[in-house]
Structure 1
Amino acid sequence: MAIETSKVQDILPNFRPTRQFKAPPNNSYTSIDFDNSGEFLLLSRTDDTIQLFNVKAGAHAKELKSQKYGSALARFTHHSTSILYASTKVDDGIRYLSMHDNTFIRYFKGHEGRVTSLSMSPGSDNFLTASMDNTVRLWDIRSPNAQGMLNFDSPYLACYDPSASIFAVGSPPTHTVLLYDLKNYDKPPFATFDLFEIEKRYAPYGQKVGKGWTAMEFSNNGKYFLISTNGPGHYLLDAYSGELVHYLHRSSGLSGRLAPGDATNGPDAVYKSAGEVYTQGDATFTPDGRYVISGGGTQTGILIWDCQETPKSDNILEPISELPSSQSAAVVAYNPRHNLIASADKEVLMWLPDPELA
Structure 2
Amino acid sequence: MGAEPPSQQPPQAKVSDTINTYRPSRLFKAPAGANYTSIDFDDSGEFLLLSRTDDTIQLFNTKAGQHAKELKSQKYGSALAKFTHNSTSIIYASTKVDDGIRYLSMHDNVFIRYFKGHTDRVTSLTLSPGNDNFLSASLDNTVKLWDARSPNNQGQLDFEAPYLTAFDPSATVIAIASPPAQTVHLYDYRNYDKPPFATFDLLDVEKRLQGTHGQKEGEGWTGLEFANNGKFLLVATNGPGHYVLDAFSGELVHYLHRASGSTNRPAPGDQLVPEQGTTYLQADASFAPDGQFVIGGNGGQAGLLVWDIREKARADKVLEPMRELPGSRPAAVVAHNPRHNLLASADKEVVLWMPDPDAA
How does the TM-score come out when normalised to structure 2?
0.96
Q: Which residue of 2 aligns with 1:237?
A: 245
Q: Which residue of 1 aligns with 2:44?
A: 37
Q: CA deviation at 1:278?
A: 1.7
CA distance in 1 between counterparts of 2:150 and 2:269 reads 29
Q: Which residue of 2 aligns with 1:278?
A: 280
CA-based RMSD: 1.0
Instruction: Indicate if the aligned counterparts of 1:168 and 1:179 stay in contact, CA closer than 8 A.
Output: yes
SS at match of 1:261: coil
Q: Which residue of 2 aligns with 1:98?
A: 105
Deviations 1:319-353 (A, max 9, x none): 00000111000000000000100000000000000
CA distance in 2 between counterparts of 1:25 and 1:277 reads 17
Deviations 1:126-145 (A, max 9, x none): 00000000000000000000
Q: Which residue of 2 aligns with 1:288?
A: 290
Q: Which residue of 2 aligns with 1:309?
A: 311
Match of 1:110 among 101, 105, 117: 117
SS at match of 2:256: strand
Match of 1:334 among 333, 336, 341: 336
Q: CA deviation at 1:3?
A: 2.9
For the pair 1:146 / 2:153, whether they are aligned, the reply is: yes
Q: CA deviation at 1:101?
A: 0.4
Instruction: Indicate if the aligned counterparts of 2:244 and 2:252 stay in contact, CA closer than 8 A.
Output: yes
Matches within 5 A, 1:1-358: 1=5, 2-4=8-10, 5-204=12-211, 205-263=213-271, 269=272, 272-274=274-276, 277-357=279-359
Q: CA deviation at 1:274?
A: 4.8
Instruction: Indicate if the aligned counterparts of 1:49 and 1:65 stay in contact, CA closer than 8 A.
Output: yes
Q: CA deviation at 1:152?
A: 0.7
Q: Which residue of 2 aligns with 1:266?
A: none
Q: CA deviation at 1:75?
A: 0.0
Q: CA deviation at 1:146?
A: 0.2
Deviations 1:1-29 (A, max 9, x none): 22322111111010000100000001100
Q: CA deviation at 1:275?
A: 5.5
CA distance in 2 between counterparts of 1:319 and 1:36 reads 28
CA distance in 1 between counterparts of 2:74 and 2:35 reads 15
SS at match of 2:104: strand
Instruction: Indicate if the aligned counterparts of 2:266 and 2:276 stay in contact, CA closer than 8 A.
Output: no
Instruction: Indicate if the aligned counterparts of 1:328 and 1:344 stay in contact, CA closer than 8 A.
Output: yes
Query: Number of residue pairs matched?
Result: 352
CA distance in 2 between counterparts of 1:116 and 1:347 reads 23
Instruction: Indicate if the aligned counterparts of 1:256 and 1:275 stay in contact, CA closer than 8 A.
Output: no
The letter for the 1-side match of 2:17 is: D
Unaligned runs of 5+ in 1: 264-268
SS at match of 2:305: strand
CA distance in 1 between counterparts of 2:171 and 2:327 reads 35
Instruction: Indicate if the aligned counterparts of 1:27 and 1:273 stay in contact, CA closer than 8 A.
Output: no
CA distance in 2 between counterparts of 1:80 and 1:301 reads 29
CA distance in 2 between counterparts of 1:325 and 1:256 reads 20
Greater shift, 337-346 or 3-12, is seen at 3-12
Deviations 1:300-328 (A, max 9, x none): 10000001000000000000000011100
Unaligned runs of 5+ in 2: none
CA distance in 2 between counterparts of 1:206 and 1:346 reads 27
CA distance in 1 between counterparts of 2:90 and 2:9 reads 25
Deviations 1:259-292 (A, max 9, x none): 10112xxxxx45x455665211100000000000
Structure 1 residues 314 and 276: alpha-carbon distance in aligned structure 2, compared to 1, 3 A threshold: farther
The letter for the 1-side match of 2:218 is: G
CA distance in 2 between counterparts of 1:247 and 1:315 reads 6
